Structure 1
Amino acid sequence: MRRTPSSVLRSVPLILFAGFLALPVLAVLASWLPLSAPGQGEAQAGAILREMAATVLPGYVWTTLWLSVLVALGAAVVGTLAAAAVTLFEFPGRRTFEWLLLLPLAMPAYVTAYAYTDFLQFSGPLQVGLRNTFGLEGRLLPEVRSLGGAVWVFIFSLYPYVYLLARTALGERAAHLMEAARLLGAPLPRRIRAVALPLARPAVAAGVALVLMETLADFGVASYFGIQTFTTGIYKAWLSMDNRLAAAQLATMLLVVVMALLHLEHRAQKRMRFATGGGRAGSAEAQPLALRGARRWAAWAVCVLPVLMGFVAPVLFMLRPLAADWSVLPWERFMEWAWHSVRLSGITAVLAVAIALALAFAVRRQPDAVTRSVVQLASVGYAVPGAVIVVGLLLPVGWLQAAMPQWGVGALITATALGIVWAYLVRFCAVALQSMQSGYARIPLSLDDSARMLGTGSAGLLARVHWPLLRRSTAAAALLVFVDVMKELPATMVLRPFNSDTLAVVAYQLARDERLGEAALPSLALVAVGLVPVILLSRTLRSRG
């Protein structure tokens, strides 16, 4: 499609939006250029990299690698087994488990880490009770704040990504094809191995890629457990060693890994659409296989364990201090923290929806290569860890502050809500954009043609035709962004204005100070907020089923 001068002019605001959202990522990549490090030069940049390679970098690499491998294997096994159980088999409570298995999505991983630490540590109620009951001494359980503890927390916090995608893949054709294999005489183990698993493999791969991106982006669990990952290394280099170039180099390495995972996730999604294509023909005749005896108990165990470990147990652990002594809880400051969280989340949600609507409408009106490329550039931030966004945002601010100190750019970004809202938009605007594009996909293009034939301009088309049909998608986008911002920790810790602590930051600070009982109140508030989109998601899945 040939672009006219007017269409080129209309693309300028889109390019500015995309540049605004992609600037932190571009700044991190530009940090390797000599011009991005005034006064240091290329030689010092190489020296810093060699020094890290000789000291901390191998530890970051190996710890992050082991954490990623173990979490990927665990989440793949737990999520796939749960999806197979509720999709392929019939047993009492199956319909209930379909939505119960989504509940860990409401639990931020760092909240789960606080809950397990409070209950399982040396001075926790479990070990104290065992010592008092059996007259034992010393440590009775492994240290929860370790690599193994982090693996446990991530597996049972993130497996729903695998579960959701695998359940969708298996629900398309698995029951029908397994019924055909049974009629051909294949036993149950062979049906699962030869039919179900190949169908679920692309979905599991996509889910594992999402799990790994969340694991690599985490700061709360790794920092609280004292694990030396790339994310904690970035914050240590920037805040403790005051070496922004080292932080930028670590951020670039992490960004490269995340982009590789994102590419693999996109490839797996395409394979999943191919593998599950062909509709649901014949699925009405193929019912899930009824289980009896030991197999029924095994299915129950496969479904109960993830829900118990990922949601029920952490919530009960956090409710214990509330039930024991309400007076120690910071009720007087809770409303202040909640207001800061709600205010920042509301502002970000409104701005993200407005930007997403503008970008989605532009693609609808002018679906050429330039517009699509601009929208893709604006969406790059959703897979970028918060630590990388912080570094990418503060780097150009530091350059501008050094070049033009009279402007006060640093204070404008770090002492007001501008910087933190900017970081939120970079991180979560793509969430709103995906929801808006899904809403547009359900609006026929014939409505646009009819409106243009009646002389309706772009503004009228958006206000009178698209907006009434996009209200539900807009509400969903605002809700998703709101909840994501409420739970965001890494960017909030660094960029929040003075005396503007949020629920996520306060929960982390109280847990870090070993005040785990007081951390229960803001943590449970975050869980309650996170339950809203989980409930809506479970209702959507049930209506489609």
Structure 2
Amino acid sequence: MKFLKIQNGISSRNILTASTFILGIIIIMPIIFIFVEIFSVRNFDFSSKLLDYFIPTFLLVVYTCIISIVLAVIPAWVITFQKIPWKNLFDILLILPLSIPGYIMAFTYADILGFNGSLDLLLQNYLNTKLSIDILSLEWLSFFLALSLYPYIYATTRIAFSLIGNTYFNLSNTLGLGETKTFLKIILPLSMPAILSGTLLVIMELLNEYGAVNYYGVKTFSVGIFKYWFSMDDKSSAIVFSAFLIILVLLLIFFLKMLKKNDEKIKYHIKSTTYIYKKNNLFKIPSYSFICLPIFFGLIIPLAFILKNVITNFLMYDWTQILHVFANTFLLAFITATIITIISFYVVSVKRHNNMRALKVLIAFLSSGYAIPGAVIGLSFMLILQYLNPSLNFLMGTIALLIYAYVFRFFAVSIFPLESSFKQQPLSFDILAKTLGLSITQTISKINFPLSKFAFASSFLLVFIDVFKELPLTLILRPFNYETLATQAYQYANEEMLSYSSVYSLCIIVVCSATIILSKSILKHKN
């Protein structure tokens, strides 16, 4: 009888592992086809086409990352190490610009600062002068995107700063170093892996961006993929761009892994308590300035302008259509987040009970999906349908295919909180469960899941936010005449109807802000 139980246990483990491998291969299969198709490409002009899109993409990434680091690191320093009132409120407000997608931030500032925009008309009416700046440029776009993306760096930097304890500050005081020198010579080098990790997330978001770069006329790879595939019917160029982006992203992920190894070495020396500098009135105004600038330009101005547009045009909106589009977006995000979170929990659970190296490699590959731009994923899904069987083209433009693409794109977003939660659960719990005669599925349902409920909720909310505001992937794979808040906001803005775009933008901002606050409160309750 005992032998039978062991055999059943082994059989159950093998079934779970096999099903995970099958699920993983199904999810990553479309990306494999990008590299299969690359061998069929002939007569591609690498010298002109690739460089035309590489240089603007590179410059956009460099400018945006530099501005994002400045907007994120200094406020994180002030919030962590300075004694200021309303610290928790400022901490939340510095995160909230993340609820404003980059394309909405760029559209809004184009309407405020552009030709005959709000500021231009104000200057004409009261000062009899015009605003003579070209707002639709790569440099300005970098600044606007940084206002939306800096919270990625702020969040990782804030965590890194909070882990640095009194030991380092006591040593710096002994050496006679002031606040500025301590920051530059000790705190910044210690936190560099975390800062660069956040910067890599910003780079991934920039490579995925389509709405803003297309509106501003910046030739990035995402724009190139859309242009060559849809406008010029040049499949070869679109495939080469996609393969180049995938290779670039994999190199970034490898670089991130190397940083994490260094980060572990640093954490060995870090204490858990946080040092707080004594109150200094001399730094009071600069401190508040560094905190308030990103909040003012990244949250208050765009939100106030969008609200003004909505109030002004309130009676002109078709609220029935808006509610219909809102329902489409909410249901799509809810269903997708549910599916992805369940799949992620299943995969992480199987990995815990069968720690095979091949399974780790598969999960690592699955986790790279978030880094791959939506335009590439959309293209790969169309290629696979054409390759398998032309009769499968009926799947194009279906909700099922769109959700399938979302699963690959946002699997990594869901799996990281769950993996973190599972790592905090002692393996002795599983051993005790086995001693009590519980099967693997019973252990997962009765022990692992209850201990991971906060991570499960957090995982769901993070995926919900990303799907709710996703644009390029939705534009490519959505069903005909199926609109979401993101597609409507983009289409109205692209047609220079920014007042109509504002109501859809406001819906995205309100829902994403509420979800971010809820997610933060869940994590706080968990801790």
Query: Is TM (by shorter chain) over 0.5?
Result: yes
- Distance in 1 separating the partners of 2:12 and 2:112: 64
Q: What is the number of equivalent residue pairs in this alignment?
A: 519
Matches within 5 A, 1:120-519: 120-137=113-130, 140-173=131-164, 176-280=167-271, 283=273, 286-293=275-282, 295-401=283-389, 405=390, 408-412=391-395, 414-519=396-501
Deviations 1:446-466 (A, max 9, x none): 222222222222222222232
Q: Give the residue type in structure 2 aligned to 1:372.
A: K
- 1:66 and 2:72 aligned: no
Deviation by residue 1:321-364 (Cα, 9 ceiling, x = unmatched) = 12223122231201110111122112211211221122111111
CA distance change for structure 1 residues 390 and 507 in 2, over 3 Å: closer, same or farther? same
2: CA distance between counterparts of 1:70 and 1:196? Answer: 24
Tell whether 2:65 aligns with 1:78. Answer: no
Task: Specify whether residues 174 and 543 from structure 1 end up closer, same or farther in structure 2 by C-alpha distance, changes over 3 A only.
Answer: farther
Give the C-alpha shift of residue 471 in structure 1.
Answer: 2.4
- SS of residue in 2 equivalent to 1:102: helix
In the TM superposition, residue 6 of structure 1 has moved relative to its aligned partner by 7.0
Describe the SS at the equivalent of 2:434: helix
Which amino acid is the alignment partner of residue 258 of structure 2? R
Amino acid at match of 2:340: A
Q: 1:99 to 1:6 in 2, by over 3 A?
A: closer
Contact 2:17 2:354 in 1 (8 A): no
Residue 30 of structure 2 is aligned to residue 18 of structure 1: no
When structure 1 is superposed on structure 2, of 332-341 and 199-208 the one drifting more is 199-208
Q: Is the 8 A contact 1:29 1:252 kept in 2?
A: yes
Deviation at residue 92 of structure 1 after TM alignment? 4.1
* Alpha-carbon distance, 1:365 to partner: 1.1
Check the 8 A contact 1:17/1:378 in 2, yes or no.
no
Give the Cα separation in 2 of the matches to 1:279 and 1:199: 9
Deviations 1:503-522 (A, max 9, x none): 11011001111111111111
Q: Which digits, 9 at most, give the CA deviation of each residue in 1:107-139, with x for residues without a partner? A: 1111111211121111211101101111225xx
In structure 2, how many angstroms separate the alpha carbons of the residues matched to 1:256 and 1:110?
25
**Range moving further from structure 2, 181-190 or 479-488:** 181-190
CA distance 1:249–1:398, change in 2 (3 Å) = same
Report if aligned partners of 1:181, 1:191 keep a CA contact under 8 Å in 2.
yes
- Native 8 Å contact 1:334 1:522 kept in 2: yes
**Partner-residue secondary structure (3-state), 2:420:** helix
**Counterparts of 2:190 and 2:231, CA distance in 1:** 48
CA distance in 2, matches of 1:151, 1:262: 23
Amino acid at match of 1:499: N
- Structure 2 contact 211–490 (Cα < 8 Å) conserved: yes
The answer (yes or no) to whether the contact 1:14–1:374 under 8 Å persists in 2 is no
- Residue in structure 1 matched with residue 502 of structure 2 by the alignment: 520
Quickly say closer, same or farther: Cα 1:269–1:132, change in 2 above 3 A: same
State the shift of 1:538 in Å: 4.2
Gaps of 5+ in 2: 1-8
CA contact (8 A) 2:71 2:150 kept: yes
Aligned-partner residue type, residue 315 of structure 2: S
Q: Which amino acid aligns with 1:178?
A: F
| Shift, 1:493, TM fit | 0.4
Range 235-244 or range 175-184, more displaced = 175-184
- Contact 2:166-2:271 at 8 Å conserved across structures: no
Q: 1:253 to 1:261 in 2, by over 3 A?
A: same
Whether the aligned pair in 2 keeps the contact of 1:18 and 1:378 (CA below 8 Å) is yes
SS in 1 for 2:133: coil
Instruction: Check conservation: 1:206, 1:266, Cα contact below 8 A.
Output: no
CA distance in 1, matches of 2:16, 2:279: 59
Deviation sequence 1:173-209 (CA, Å, 0-9, x none): 2554224312332233322222222122222111111
Q: Could you tell me how far 1:236 is from its partner in structure 2?
A: 0.4
- TM-score when scaled to structure 2? 0.93
Change (3 A) 1:224 1:311: same
* Equivalent residue number for residue 30 of structure 1: 36
Q: TM-score, normalization: structure 1? A: 0.90
The AA in structure 2 aligned to 1:361 is S
What is the SS of the residue equivalent to 2:164?
helix
Instruction: Determine if contact 2:462/2:519 at 8 Å carries over to the other structure.
Output: no
Contact kept in structure 2, 1:72 and 1:211, CA below 8 Å:
yes
Gaps spanning 5+ residues in structure 1: where? 35-44
The answer to whether the 8 Å contact 1:63/1:229 transfers is yes
Q: Distance in 2 between matches of 1:94 and 1:467?
A: 34
Q: 1:427-485 CA deviation, whole Å, 9 max, x = no partner?
A: 01222222222232233222222222222222222222323323222222222111211
The aligned amino acid for 1:78 is: L
Which amino acid in 1 is paired with 2:262?
R
Mapped to 1, the partners of 2:319 and 2:15 lie a distance apart of 53
Deviation for aligned residue 1:97: 1.9
Task: Indicate conservation of the 8 Å contact 1:103/1:311, yes or no.
Answer: yes
